[in-house]
C-alpha cells in the first residue's frame, strides 16, 4: 500500500476514533449536568488551578469566541468564580469554587478510568510513540497553517 493511501486511511481512522471519544465524553459529562466544553474548562482549572481567561482561551479545545459563554454558564452553576487582577485591571482570573472542586473530585476519577480503559492494551512505549506522532502532526499543522 502506498504511503499516500496509508496516510489517508490513518487520517480517517483518527477522525472516526476522535468522534467516538467525543461521544463517549459527552455521554459521561451529561450525567453530571455539564456540556463537553464546560467539562474541558473545569478539567483545566482542576489540574492547573486559577487561570486567566486568555490562558483558558489558548489552552482549551473550544472556539475562543465560546470561552466567555462557557465561563458564564459555569459561573451561573456556581462552579467557577471570576476575580479581577490587582496588578492589571484588564486581566480576569477564573478559578474553581468549592462546589466546582467537589464536583470535579467526583467526576474526574470516573472520566480518567473510562479513558484509561481504552488505552490499557497498549504498552507505555506504544502510548509514548502514539503521543509523539500526534504531537508531530499537530506541530506541522501549526507551523504550516498558523
Per-residue model confidence as pLDDT tens digits over 58-73: 899 788 789 999 999 9
Mean pLDDT of the chain: 94
Sheet strands (E) in 14-106: 51-52, 80-84, 92-96
In order of their start, the domains of the chain are 17-118 (1.10.10.10)
- The answer to whether residues 45 and 51 touch, using CB atoms and an 8 Å cutoff, is yes
b or e along 105-128 (b: 16 or more beta carbons within 10 Å of the residue's beta carbon)?
A: eebeeebeeeeeeeeeeeeeeeee
C-alpha cell at 143: 507551523
Report pTM: 0.87
Amino acid at each position: 500500500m502506498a504511503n499516500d493511501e496509508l496516510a489517508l486511511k490513518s487520517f480517517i481512522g483518527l477522525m472516526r476514533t476522535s468522534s467516538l471519544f467525543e461521544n463517549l465524553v459527552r455521554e459521561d459529562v451529561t450525567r453530571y449536568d455539564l456540556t463537553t466544553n464546560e467539562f474541558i474548562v473545569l478539567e483545566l482549572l482542576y489540574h492547573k488551578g486559577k487561570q486567566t481567561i486568555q490562558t483558558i482561551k489558548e489552552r482549551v479545545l473550544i472556539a475562543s469566541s465560546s470561552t466567555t459563554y462557557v465561563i458564564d454558564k459555569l459561573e451561573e452553576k456556581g462552579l467557577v468564580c471570576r476575580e479581577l487582577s490587582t496588578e492589571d485591571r484588564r486581566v480576569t482570573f477564573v478559578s474553581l469554587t468549592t462546589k466546582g472542586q467537589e464536583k470535579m473530585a467526583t467526576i474526574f476519577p470516573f472520566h480518567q478510568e473510562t479513558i484509561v480503559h481504552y488505552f490499557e492494551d497498549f504498552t507505555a512505549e506504544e502510548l509514548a510513540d502514539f503521543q509523539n506522532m500526534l504531537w508531530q502532526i499537530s506541530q506541522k499543522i501549526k507551523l504550516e497553517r498558523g
